[in-house]
Structure 1
């Protein structure tokens, strides 16, 4: 069986690391909350942009 290996440029790895670090800092300042008032928000996908997650959740008035 042949395995396919995808080479990722160092700049892309650094970009992903910086994004993870920024999200961790943001979440430590503004902890995500569920709509039911729970503590932690279990995300659909860790890599999903915040705008995509915000579009899925209905806005509260």
Structure 2
């Protein structure tokens, strides 16, 4: 079967690049939250 090739305009590529760059800056300022892990045997869960 033939493949479908999608045309992506320069403006769309630039928009995606700017979004990636902005997200990287945001993540450097506000690091993503680390999910809480379940306590292991013998450990108590710490309360914040």
User: Aligning the two structures, in what range does the TM-score lie when normalised by the shorter sequence?
Assistant: 0.5 to 0.7
User: What runs of 5+ residues in structure 2 fail to find an aligned partner?
Assistant: 38-48
CA distance in 2, matches of 1:6, 1:35: 37
Partner of 2:8: 8
Rg larger in structure: 2
Count of paired positions: 37
User: What runs of 5+ residues in structure 1 fail to find an aligned partner?
Assistant: 38-61
Runs of 4+ in 1 over 4 A off after TM superposition: none
